[in-house]
Amino acid sequence: MDERANGLRRRRPGRGGRLAVAGLAAAVLAAAPASASAGGDRGHHAGPDLRALAGKRILLANDDSVQAARPDGADGRGLYALRKALCEAKADVVVVGPWAQQSGRSRASASSPQVTVAPPAAVPAQYAQDCSTAPSGGPVVGVCQGAGQCAPSSASVTPADAVDLALGAYLPQRIGWTHGPDLVLTGINSGANTDLSVNLSGTVGAAVAAVEHGVPAVAVSAGTRATSVPSDTSYQVAARYATRVAARLFARKATGRLARERLIININCPDVTAGVDPTPRWTHVGRVAVDRFSYTATGENGYRLGYGAVQPAPGLDPHSDTATLAGGHISIGAVTVDRDGSGAAGWARAVTMTG
């Protein structure tokens, strides 16, 4: 199956919307790694001045949890890699994330009547001193459901809940950020968030929550496929690139426009090896999935959930995020928060409103 319209993830904008997205593309593509090889987008080699991040207040959240206790790092190591890169650029970073793994929760809410914040059991040793000199002190907290202490078995809030709590209460009341953060970054997710996974992603859902509060947001993921378990190198490359994009947004004074246009910047970095800095390409959200959930009957009334590659493999638009990742490039694009397709749905209006 070739890529065709399948669900609403990014509106097809009118001329004004196209100009807005084009302006953002110009701003962020200039943030490519300075050592990237030729063949990518032009004008990116100089990279941004990271000094634009100095003193900026940044909320960092994810959907993999704040624990980072698993050997493979799939439960939050990417968050700490991004935190390190941002703090090295002198940003003031506060982490508020889900207590436990919450992948696939999109913009859902646990709707818990009581929640509790607590630091993780242990910050990974290689990241323990990061952000310690920031004005906020660089706190890292996870959010669990219920009153009392968060325990290993505590139920977690969703990624969007964590952002809602941070922006609505924790940052102004506990940190003193009465005017909120300057930017929200979510990730780095373990595995790609492209094509139909954008609708499912808790990483993107947390960014959606930020934009709903009027705060600009960037979602960041690492791994060529949704099932990828990124290496430390992949996380580091994604962290460097996302930090450069954030700096470019501030340097170009584009964060306000990002929030007004209700756009999320969605960054996906492929699996990479040491010494490789992939080039970025501006993409659109893919319209078919290469991996998806499936169910297999296990009895008269039971079904077993599985997740894997779609067979036969679908044809991909070469300009889509999924195809770009598969080609070894960084995918960067815009995702709308309001899910408004009115600018591209004149035919639907004609069908439903006339005759």
Domain count, the chain: 1
pLDDT of residue 347: 80
Does residue 9 lie in a domain region?
no
Does residue 105 lie in a domain region?
yes
pLDDT of residue 31: 59
pLDDT, one tens digit per residue, over 100-116 is: 999 999 999 999 999 99
pLDDT, one tens digit per residue, over 255-275 is: 999 999 999 999 999 999 998
pLDDT of residue 296: 96
22: Cβ contacts below 8 Å, ≥ 6 apart: none
Length of the chain: 355
pLDDT of residue 181: 99
pLDDT of residue 228: 81
CA distances from 168 to 38, 107, 179, 246 (A): 44, 16, 11, 23
Rounded mean pLDDT, 50-58:
97
Confidence of residue 32 (pLDDT cuts 50, 70, 90): low
pLDDT of residue 28: 67
pLDDT at residue 138 greater than cutoff 50: yes
CA distances from 90 to 13, 195, 199 (A): 36, 34, 33
The model's pTM: 0.88
Token pair in block for residue 51: 């000094």
Q: Lowest-confidence range among 31-35, 204-208, 240-244, 280-284?
A: 31-35
Does residue 27 lie in a domain region?
yes
Q: Which domain holds residue 236?
A: 20-353
pLDDT, one tens digit per residue, over 177-212 is: 999 999 999 999 999 999 999 999 999 999 999 999
Alpha helices in the chain (DSSP H): 15-29, 77-88, 159-165, 197-200, 202-212, 232-251, 255-260, 321-326, 346-353
pLDDT cut 70: percent of the chain above it: 86
pLDDT of residue 173: 98
pLDDT of residue 23: 60
- Calculate the average pLDDT of the chain: 88
Does residue 13 lie in a domain region?
no
The span from the CA of 242 to the CA of 257, in Å, is: 18
The span from the CA of 12 to the CA of 34, in Å, is: 32
**CA diameter of the chain:** 67
Type of residue found at 241 = Y
pLDDT, one tens digit per residue, over 286-322 is: 998 888 899 999 989 999 999 988 888 889 999 999 9
**Burial (CB count <10 Å: 0-12, 13-18, 19+), residue 258:** buried
Token pair in block for residue 276: 């490789």
The CATH number covering residue 65 comes to 3.40.1210.10
pLDDT at residue 162 greater than cutoff 80: yes
pLDDT of residue 348: 81
pLDDT of residue 30: 62
HSE, side-chain direction, 13 A CA sphere, residue 347 = 1
Confidence of residue 339 (pLDDT cuts 50, 70, 90): confident
The β-bridge partners of 156 are: 144
